[in-house]
Amino acid sequence: MTQLTLEEPRTEAELMARAKRLAGLTVGELGDRLGVPVPESTRRAKGLAGQLVERFLGASAGSRDAADFQAIGVELKTLPVDVRGRPKETTFVCTIQPNRMAQLDFEDSPCWHKLQRVLWVPVEASDAGPLPGRRLGTPILWSPTAEERRVLQDDWERVAARIAEGGLDEITSRLGDALQVRPKAASAAARQRVPDAEGFQWHNPRGFYLRTDFTARVLSRIR
């Protein structure tokens, strides 16, 4: 697998200039340019399109917990959309650190940090057809409006409160208008130690996700 390393863009303008060259390209074509074979199915390559886009745009963070474009504080999200441009899936934001929620303000949370400036790259996946043929859309650079922030903060604080009261067991994915908490792991068997009042407990790792409705409104507002 050839490793085409690209430099990280140093301004938003530079990033967007590069990002606009993505629009209209297929995932297969993008793979060709980067020397990465693209399988027919996403089933065993769920994050591949996202990783190709990362590389094409020169994202720096890798697996570290930092913005994809550190220098300019921009997070990258590729998301599957249908023919009308509507997201087909929820969007993963970050993992949740249950024991830290209580001591943190929303402003200082990893969740809010990630969402302050996001470059959305749509991938057409209307029919869930072959991955190489799926086409990339026009990228959208977004920051939450005051209203959107309010909704996100409300949801985040409800989660924090619920954990403080009853622990992680009280959290269901039904909570939250825009932001929900769901499993984030290789399998249901995965476990992580979570400190609590009596020492710690084992839990299935979880993450924050943006509901489809929320991102749909975000995208349609901007277009």
3-state class (DSSP) for residue 135: strand
Which residue's CB is nearer to DNA, number 125 or number 160?
Answer: 125
* From 146, 165, 187, 199, residue interacting with DNA (rule: CB under 7 A): 187
**111 vs 189: CA distance, rounded Å:** 25
Instruction: Tell me the H-state helices in 1-127.
Output: 12-20, 27-34, 48-57, 98-101, 110-115
Six-digit token string for 180: 């929900």
Site string for DNA, 166-185 (x = CB under 7 A): ------xxx-----x-xxxx
3-state class (DSSP) for residue 88: coil
Q: How far is the CB of 117 from DNA (least distance, A)?
A: 13
- Give the start-end residues of each E strand in the chain: 75-81, 91-95, 118-124, 140-142, 179-183, 192-196, 199-203, 206-210
Which residue's CB is nearer to DNA, number 118 or number 146?
Answer: 118
For helices 48-57 and 27-34, what crossing angle results, to 10°?
A: 50
Scanning 7-15, 20-28, 53-61, 146-154 for contacts with DNA by CB under 7 A, the matching segment is 53-61
Which residue's CB is nearer to DNA, number 36 or number 157?
Answer: 36
* From 9, 26, 30, 42, residue interacting with DNA (rule: CB under 7 A): 42
Which residues touch 111 (CB under 8 Å, ≥6 apart)? 93, 94, 96, 152, 156, 179, 208
Determine the distance from the C-alpha atom of residue 51 to the mean position of all C-alpha atoms in its chain, rounded to a whole number.
12
Scanning 17-25, 60-68, 144-152, 157-165 for contacts with DNA by CB under 7 A, the matching segment is 60-68
Q: How far is the CB of 76 from DNA (least distance, A)?
A: 6
Amino acid letter at 151?
A: V
Please list every residue from 8 through 27 that binds DNA, using CB under 7 A. none
Which residue's CB is nearer to DNA, number 65 or number 170?
Answer: 65
Q: Per CB under 7 A, does 155 bind DNA? A: no
Residues that bind DNA (CB under 7 A): 1, 41-51, 53-54, 61-65, 68, 75-80, 89-92, 94-95, 110, 121, 123, 125, 128, 172-174, 180, 182-192, 204-205, 207, 211-213
